[in-house]
Structure 1
Amino acid sequence: MLTPHRAATRRTTAVLAAAAITGLTLAGCSASGESSDKVVITLAGPNQWNSQSDSFGQEWEDLIAAFEEAETGIEVKTTVLPLASFADTLTTQLAAGTAPELIFNQPQPAPDQVVALDDYLAEPNPYNADADSWLDEFNPNAYGDAQRDAKGQLYWVPFNLVIAGLFYNQEALDDAGVEAPIASIGDLIDACSALKDAGYTPLAMDNGSLGTGWTSETLLSSLLNKYGAEWNVFDAAGEPGTATSVTNKSLVKAILTGELDATKTPEVREAVSLLKEIFDNCATENWSGVAASGQFVGGQEFLAGDAAMAWGTNFAISNLADVDWEWSSMPFPSVTKTDTPLSDGSEARFGAVAGGTSYMIPATTKGEKLEAAVKFLQFASSPATNGDWVAATDTIPATSDASTASEGVGGLVTGEWAKPRLISIGSNSPKADSGSNLWEGYLLGTRTLDEQLAYIQTGWVGWAEEAVAEAGITEDWATQ
């Protein structure tokens, strides 16, 4: 059984290391507080850290202050975007050419909409004298070839890694006689029944795309794992070969050749059926009317102590500082052979992956603003700065030399769950649907299972065709 973690505020009071090194002071502001001769850049993204609508939190404020002390001619402003709509906002801005200088990396841009960073990454980071190149700073198992787009380019930089899993209220589980970690989907359904009898919502849920997305992706990954060797036909650079995980190009081929078809592959049907069983038995009643938050999935209900479990990431830990109950974390249960004969018996995986907090530069950013945006990415990811920021935010380092992951991540960073998925699919869809809740219709009963599978297949094919067009793939299987 995992050891519960007593909530405690985890904050670093020291000024970030890079600021201490420079010893510089802020300058160049007018009496009104506006910039005078400074280069002003804006960073826009969702709030992964707290429920504030105007700030990512003190740790971010410290990071930006440290950068502005190191680069007195640059000012960084932040725009906090709603978690439920940030992808739509940034996608629209990218298409219109109105995006700010630094944006969160998840809207799936077209290659010509963002700045390829390969040339910068090949050169030394000016804020780190210990690495031959900026790319060398990063843990190669977390950021590198696997993050290249279909054209083989890197266009975003991670500040940390992210891993998601189930956080739970130990007192609620004790009241219901449930022991963590929960091993299988069948055990989860049984636990949800016991938690309901004890007066708790078993699994907090809201109408955002994360709860349905993470649950479906975990189920699909577990059941499709058996096809990994068959579909793994391209390396990270898109050449014939294999990769540690099935690459996007390999998935595109599997979809367009019919090897993976949501309407015909039996493991997909089984995964989607299990998804509905979990939601029907465990999720917040009327979850579709609950607005998403930046804390946990169904965060308000979970933090109030009314829900026993909630999906969350390592970024959410600081929100548990003031709860009066013990908590811990665990992987989402595995799909076992007892749950379905279609399982190969492998344990569920999520993976501590790059992309948790990661930013890119729109192609419309030019001149001194481009130079300033690159400098901010270099500063924020440099080991000296990043190590302090990682410690202050309870996250997992993306750089090789940063501090180790904090104990607050608990049961999420050990065992199979922490290893990268062999196959990652579920939320793959055309850019027009990026960030939308793909599963809501079926889970609410407005689509049948067959209709949902057809809908998902249409989305997968659309995603694959977009990838072929953007990467200029001309192999026979892609053009027939």
Structure 2
Amino acid sequence: MSRTTTRRRHLRAAAVAATSVLLLSGCASGTAADGKTVITLAGPNQWNSNTTSFGPAWEELVAAFEKAEPDIEVQTTVLPIGSAYDTLSTQLAAGTAPALVFNQASYTPEQIVPLDPYLAEPNPYVEGNERWLDLFNPDSYGDAQRNGNGELEFIPLNLVLPGLFFNEDAFAEAGVSAPIESVGDLLDACAALSEAGYTPLAMDSNQLGSSWTSTTLLSMLMNPLAEEINVYAVDGTEGTAPVVTPKSMTRAIMTGQIDMTETPAVAEGAELLKSIFDECATPNWSGVAASSSFIGGEEFLAGDAAMAWGTTFAIGNLDDVDWAWSSMPFPTVTRGDTPLSDGTPARFGAVAGGTSYMIPATTSGDELEAAVKFLQFATSIDGGGPWVQATGAIPSIQGVEAEPTVLDLAVGEWAQPRVFEAGMLGSAEYANTNIWEGYLLGTKTLDEQLEFLQGIAVTGAHEAITYFDWSEESWATE
């Protein structure tokens, strides 16, 4: 079976205002009756529908760690994917979070343990290692993941890389060749696939479908702005960075260098997005329940849709399909698609953000030590390597080989980080919501959508100024 080659970086802002404290059963940490230090890890299940376990490979990882550290016990709390963000955000704000929490949550800097001091020390589970950070591929984890204050706040146990998965049999029947190179070619392919009786692109109510598509389009079209607005280094000082930092992006919004209502590339990206949804997506997508595998997973796995957005975590769901499948990057916006394109290739970035965990500031003493040890073990070749390979994920550390089913997804331009990350143009208020729904369904005009996008970009900029304490910068009040 052939497989064709295939970041959303979330700008965390002020913590969600909690109206109640959500307590999780099994989240207690501390000392057990046998004297062991007990820590609890809480996060969503990314691999299966089990409500109590992340699966056999995870249980084996925990067992191996407890064998290496017999005085530590690790408990796992599985959170529903749909509510994990709000649950962890509320707990972090209330000071009730367990020792280790999934990194996709809203929080303020004082609620999280900065990990740079630990990353500067050796990982005790890797012989000869002098600095834990050196285990990670710098293209995947490092400067690009630092917050506006230049700190690393989470540890990636693996990497995530979405892409377009497709039914090879459907493509052959419709006469469509892969990979699809341009957005114009994608629209042509959708027409051919529709004629052949397939839904071209499976879609459901999961906001990731429009988010991944829009961010990919806008990051390409707005890339020419990167050089102009890239004025801060990763540590927040004046300079430049390999990718545009949150501080540079925030300054650009506050100074009007980026205005979603006046930057032509935004309107162009919005119109391309709507064309793709109108011509390719499941017609009633907003009423289709979100899938735990692919976007529009039920329709795609049934063989009724020819393409679907998915991540490397979803590959196991293809084991039982009776058709050949492959994967590819999202197509590039070319000059043939729009004169606003500068030829920037489509990128998403095989970077940290898959299964990533951080330590709440309320974790201290033996529990803090134990939590750090677990993260070190899970990012060691012998400790975490078997788990990464068993789950079919992309390794976050060097020295662990990816399984063949995902190896092709992690090479080429698509796997490289975006220089301009359009996903940062948002607000915590709208995290995990579909900010494009009204426009895509026709209840908002393009001008109304652009005004809305500008509003949340400005709101997000003010959130970032508060979050990172940039209020003394000359541009912070413009």
TM-score, normalising length from structure 2? 0.90
Q: Counterparts of 2:144 and 2:407 in 1: how far apart (Å)?
A: 26
Corresponding position of 1:469: 466
Instruction: Give the AA of the match of 1:224.
Output: M
Q: Counterparts of 1:57 and 1:323 in 2: how far apart (Å)?
A: 21
Query: Of 95, 98, 120, which residue of structure 2 is paired with 1:97?
Result: 95
Q: Counterparts of 2:134 and 2:141 in 1: how far apart (Å)?
A: 10
Corresponding position of 2:341: 343
Corresponding position of 2:410: 413
Q: CA deviation at 1:402?
A: 2.3
Instruction: Give the AA of the match of 1:50.
Output: N
2:265 partner SS: helix
Q: Counterparts of 1:453 and 1:316 in 2: how far apart (Å)?
A: 33
Corresponding position of 2:133: 135
Query: Unmatched 5+ residue regions in structure 2?
Result: 5-31
Q: Counterparts of 2:50 and 2:280 in 1: how far apart (Å)?
A: 29
Q: CA deviation at 1:75?
A: 2.1
Corresponding position of 2:83: 85
Corresponding position of 2:437: 440
Q: CA deviation at 1:261?
A: 0.9
Corresponding position of 1:113: 111
Corresponding position of 2:384: 386
1:449 and 2:446 matched: yes
Instruction: Give the AA of the match of 1:57.
Output: G
Distance 1:255 1:222, change over 3 A: same
Distance 1:102 1:470, change over 3 A: same
Contact in 2 for aligned 1:107/1:431 (Cα 8 Å)? no
1:65 and 2:63 matched: yes
Contact in 1 for aligned 2:249/2:424 (Cα 8 Å)? no
Matched residue pairs, number? 450
Query: Of 37, 53, 56, which residue of structure 1 is paired with 2:54?
Result: 56
Q: CA deviation at 1:126?
A: 1.9
Alignment of 1:154-303 (within 5 A): 154-303=152-301
Instruction: Give the AA of the match of 2:233.
Output: D
Query: Of 419, 424, 430, which residue of structure 1 is paired with 2:421?
Result: 424
Corresponding position of 2:17: none
Query: Unmatched 5+ residue regions in structure 1?
Result: 6-33
1:78 partner SS: strand
1:399 and 2:428 matched: no
Q: CA deviation at 1:479?
A: 3.1
User: Residue deviations 1:214-247, cap 9 Å, x none?
Assistant: 1000000110111121111111111111111111
Deviates more, 1:72-81 or 1:462-471: 72-81
Deviates more, 1:140-149 or 1:151-160: 140-149
1:89 partner SS: helix
Identity of aligned residues (%): 60
Deviates more, 1:150-159 or 1:386-395: 386-395
Q: CA deviation at 1:273?
A: 1.1
Q: Counterparts of 2:136 and 2:33 in 1: how far apart (Å)?
A: 33
Q: CA deviation at 1:275?
A: 0.8
Contact in 2 for aligned 1:209/1:435 (Cα 8 Å)? yes
Q: Counterparts of 1:319 and 1:102 in 2: how far apart (Å)?
A: 28
Corresponding position of 2:457: 460
Corresponding position of 1:46: 44
Corresponding position of 1:31: none
Distance 1:428 1:84, change over 3 A: farther
2:363 partner SS: coil
Q: Counterparts of 2:364 and 2:187 in 1: how far apart (Å)?
A: 54
Corresponding position of 1:13: none
Q: CA deviation at 1:35?
A: 7.0
Contact in 2 for aligned 1:155/1:360 (Cα 8 Å)? yes
Contact in 2 for aligned 1:84/1:208 (Cα 8 Å)? no
Instruction: Give the AA of the match of 1:346.
Output: T
Cα RMSD after superposing both structures: 1.8
Contact in 2 for aligned 1:386/1:402 (Cα 8 Å)? no
Corresponding position of 2:14: none
Q: CA deviation at 1:414?
A: 2.8
Contact in 1 for aligned 2:246/2:424 (Cα 8 Å)? no
Contact in 1 for aligned 2:57/2:391 (Cα 8 Å)? yes
Q: CA deviation at 1:180?
A: 0.7
Query: Of 109, 115, 125, which residue of structure 1 is paired with 2:123?
Result: 125
Q: Counterparts of 1:79 and 1:448 in 2: how far apart (Å)?
A: 43
Distance 1:200 1:53, change over 3 A: farther
Q: CA deviation at 1:426?
A: 3.3
User: Residue deviations 1:425-458, cap 9 Å, x none?
Assistant: 1364222322222111211222221111111111
Q: CA deviation at 1:179?
A: 0.9
Q: Counterparts of 1:3 and 1:428 in 2: how far apart (Å)?
A: 37
Q: Counterparts of 2:408 and 2:198 in 1: how far apart (Å)?
A: 22
User: Residue deviations 1:260-285, cap 9 Å, x none?
Assistant: 11111000011011111111111112
1:152 and 2:150 matched: yes
Instruction: Give the AA of the match of 1:3.
Output: S
TM-score, normalising length from structure 1? 0.90
1:304 and 2:317 matched: no
Q: Counterparts of 1:225 and 1:462 in 2: how far apart (Å)?
A: 22
Contact in 2 for aligned 1:137/1:383 (Cα 8 Å)? no
Q: Counterparts of 2:356 and 2:330 in 1: how far apart (Å)?
A: 24
1:313 and 2:303 matched: no
Q: CA deviation at 1:411?
A: 4.3
Q: Counterparts of 2:203 and 2:82 in 1: how far apart (Å)?
A: 14
